[in-house]
């Protein structure tokens, strides 16, 4: 009788351990799936970058590990940027960004007072999808860009740099007139 009880108890314990193993494996599998999804998602950021001491570009960069598709950039206000485009049309050619890839638009030149001519404070709303097919599931990010950014950015200007900048501007104007 005791042997039969021990057999039944060992069967119950074996079944219980098996069920617990299945539950733990399922939980680990779902956590692993979530981690994989997060680690392969694209993540877009926008920043203003001084390419040289006097040129500023807006850089949209994918800092994630997946490709960002169907990228849309909207601004709360529209104004002319240095490249001759309006801010709202500058991003139209952009369709996707691979990991660590970036897309630059020229915001303009910083003058001696650390200002960009015609720059206006604005918010950019950027949205993208994780797949080529736009299934209505969009990731979004908002970035506020302020004139104060340039006021606080230290820029070492000397006479040589200013004259070189003026000469480059003359060359660019001459190219545009042609």
pLDDT digits (tens, 9 = 90+) for 2-55: 888 888 888 988 899 999 999 999 999 999 888 887 778 899 998 887 777 677
Q: Domain residues for 143?
A: 44-177
Q: What pTM was computed for the model?
A: 0.65
Whether 78 shows a pLDDT value over 60: the answer reads yes
User: Given its phi and psi angles, is residue 108 left (phi above 0), alpha (psi -120 to 50 degrees) or beta?
Assistant: left
Interstrand relation of 102-109 and 55-62 (parallel, antiparallel or unpaired) = antiparallel
- The structural domain count of the chain equals 2
Q: Are residues 84 and 31 in the same domain?
A: no
Mean pLDDT (whole number) for 132-145: 83
Taking only the tens place, the pLDDT of each residue in 79-132 is 777 666 777 778 888 888 999 999 988 877 776 666 777 778 888 889 888 888
Q: Does 150 lie in the same domain as 98?
A: yes
Same domain flag for 121 and 139: yes
Same domain, 54 and 24: no
Q: What is the pLDDT of residue 155?
A: 56
Q: What is the distance between the alpha carbons of residues 114 and 150, in angstroms, rounded to a whole number?
A: 5
The reply to whether 5 and 70 lie within a common domain is: no
For 98, phi and psi rounded to 5 degrees? -80, 165
pLDDT in tens, 140-177: 888 888 877 766 655 555 667 767 878 888 888 887 77
Q: Quick check: 41 and 65 in contact, CB under 8 A? A: yes
């Amino acid at each position: 009788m005791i042997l039969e009880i021990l057999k039944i108890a060992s069967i119950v314990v074996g079944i219980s351990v098996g069920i617990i193993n299945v539950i733990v494996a399922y939980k680990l599998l779902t956590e692993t799936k979530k981690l994989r999804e997060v680690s392969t998602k694209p993540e877009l950021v926008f920043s203003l970058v001084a390419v040289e001491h006097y040129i500023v570009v807006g850089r949209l960069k994918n800092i994630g590990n997946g490709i960002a598709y169907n990228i849309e950039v909207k601004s709360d206000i529209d104004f002319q940027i240095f490249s001759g485009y309006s801010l709202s049309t500058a991003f139209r050619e952009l369709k996707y960004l691979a990991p660590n890839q970036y897309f630059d638009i020229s915001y303009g030149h910083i003058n001696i007072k650390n200002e960009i001519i015609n720059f206006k404070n604005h918010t950019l709303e950027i949205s993208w999808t994780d797949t080529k097919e736009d299934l209505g599931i969009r990731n979004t990010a908002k970035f506020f860009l302020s004139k104060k950014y340039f006021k606080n950015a230290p820029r070492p200007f000397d006479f040589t740099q200013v004259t070189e900048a003026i000469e480059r501007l003359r060359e660019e104007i001459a190219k545009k007139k042609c």
